[in-house]
Structure 1
Amino acid sequence: MYNLYVSNDQDTARFILGKEGKRKLFVIGLNPSTANKEKSDTTVAKVEKVAKLNSFDGFVMANLYPHRSTDPSNLPISVDKGLIKRNIEEIRKQASLDSFPVFWAAWGGNIVTREYLTAAFHQIDALVRELNGTWVNYGELLKGGHPRHPSRLSYSWSFQNFDPNLY
């Protein structure tokens, strides 16, 4: 189903999931849920459709934190710095293959549940700047100024420029 897939040996952390293309959309969610190389989930299915509807022929789903959890409140209290480091490396490997990559901020309001999620965003933002990438969000920002999560979107919405300095 997906020809881009990078996880740890136990598949308890997923770094990259997606499909190759000449023009890929890089999506940064909060953390991975259940999707894997062989099966999608609601979030990834919506990401793929939004990418196609907006003239992207591929996509890369990555996250602020790669630890799998169906409920963000169950993420570890303490950060695993090794996971963060590898996460940044894997995003870099994929995004450096594209000229002027577009990054969709897609983590939702739960970024506030763990301090390390905001810190991870800052590291990814530094990478986006280094690669001459741009940030977008889909639909209006949430009341707290956070970008919307893809599982709760309307296909009638559109991309807007996202200001990373909000964080």
Structure 2
Amino acid sequence: MHIPACETSLLELADFDRALEESARPNPDYDITKWIYVPNHYSEYRYILGTRGEKPLICVGINPSTAAPDDLDNTLKSVERVALHNGYDSFLMFNVYAQRATDPDDMERTYNRQLHAQNMKAFDYALSLDRAGAPAVWAAWGTIIEKRDYLPGCVRDMIAVGKARGARWYSAGKKSKKGHPHHPLYLRKDSLLEEFDVEGYLNHIL
């Protein structure tokens, strides 16, 4: 379990670009030729966790929990299986909000603008890794997006960043009654991605 130790506003946040540079240095805890992990150590927040490849699937949850390289939780194991089944050679786990909390009810109630800004830099970087130039973004946050009022606005910012990169949005599995995209945890490993109108979805739930 990860219970936030404090509000992220009380932390000295790592600039994403600097943290990315540090993540490229050899690390005794994991193989940097296989994993992307930013920041490259366990902390109160996480920008990106995933594997390296030419055609990554970017999965978007709400917020990170305890997963780390070579120590994936069940959600990320499911993400990796679905990515490989759909023809991707790697996966990147990204989150609408970067604060770690195993229970989303423990997420901070006050939105940290600085943390979100660095998270959007991380999202832009993740989008840039698709060598074909049409990055695939899998919306996979489930009903958890209802936990905090600031989360839909964070997704809107992601949409804007994605448009500049030609991102295509997908979902997998049955949507909720309100149209929320399915969470990865209980998906079959042979689940197929389907196009997802993320803007229309946001307009519907707001």
Superposed pair shares fold, TM > 0.5: yes
Amino acid at match of 1:155: K
Give 2:172's match in structure 1, choosing from 130, 138, 154.
Answer: 138
The answer on 1:79 being equivalent to 2:111 is yes
Q: Deviations 1:2-56 (Å, cap 9, x if unpaired)?
A: 5100038761101100001111101111100110124110111110111111110
In terms of fraction of residues, the more strand-rich structure is 1
Distance verdict in 2 for CA 1:8–1:53, change over 3 Å: closer
What are the ranges of 5 or more consecutive residues in structure 2 without an aligned counterpart?
Answer: 1-29
Shift of 1:117: 0.8
2:125 aligned residue (86, 89, 93): 93
Contact persistence 2:135–2:167 (CA under 8 A): yes
CA distance in 1: counterparts of 2:63 and 2:54, whole angstroms: 26
Letter in 1 for 2:94: A
**Contact kept in structure 1, 2:82 and 2:191, CA below 8 Å:** no
TM-score by length of 2: 0.77
What amino acid is the match of 2:88? F
1:152 is paired with a residue whose SS is coil
Cross-structure match for 1:116 = 150
Q: Which amino acid aligns with 2:106?
A: N
Match of 2:99 among 61, 64, 67: 67
Contact 2:61 2:96 in 1 (8 A): yes
Paired letter, 2:98: P
Query: What letter matches 1:161 in structure 2?
Result: E
**Cα deviations across residues 101-145 of structure 1 (Å, max 9, x unaligned)?**
000001110101111111110011111111101000011211110
1:29 lines up with 2:50 in the alignment: no
Residue 15 of structure 1 is aligned with which of 34, 44, 47? Answer: 47
Write out the 4+ residue segments of structure 1 that deviate beyond 3 Å after TM superposition: none
Shift of 1:156: 3.7
Aligned pair in 2 of structure 1 residues 150, 8: CA closer, same or farther (>3 Å)? Answer: same
- 2:47 alignment partner, SS class: strand
Q: Which amino acid aligns with 1:89?
A: K
Aligned residues: 167
Which residue identity does 2:141 align to in structure 1? W
On the 8 A contact 2:42/2:68 being kept in 1, the answer is no
In structure 2, which of residues 112, 125, 141 is the aligned counterpart of residue 107 of structure 1? 141
CA distance in 1, matches of 2:37, 2:156: 24
Larger Rg: 2
1:152 CA drift (Å):
2.0
Query: Are 2:78 and 1:42 aligned?
Result: no
The alignment-based identity, stated in percent, is 35
Task: Please tell me the residue identity of whatever aligns with 1:101.
Answer: P
Q: More deviation in 3-12 or 107-116?
A: 3-12
Distance 2:129 2:190 in 1: 30
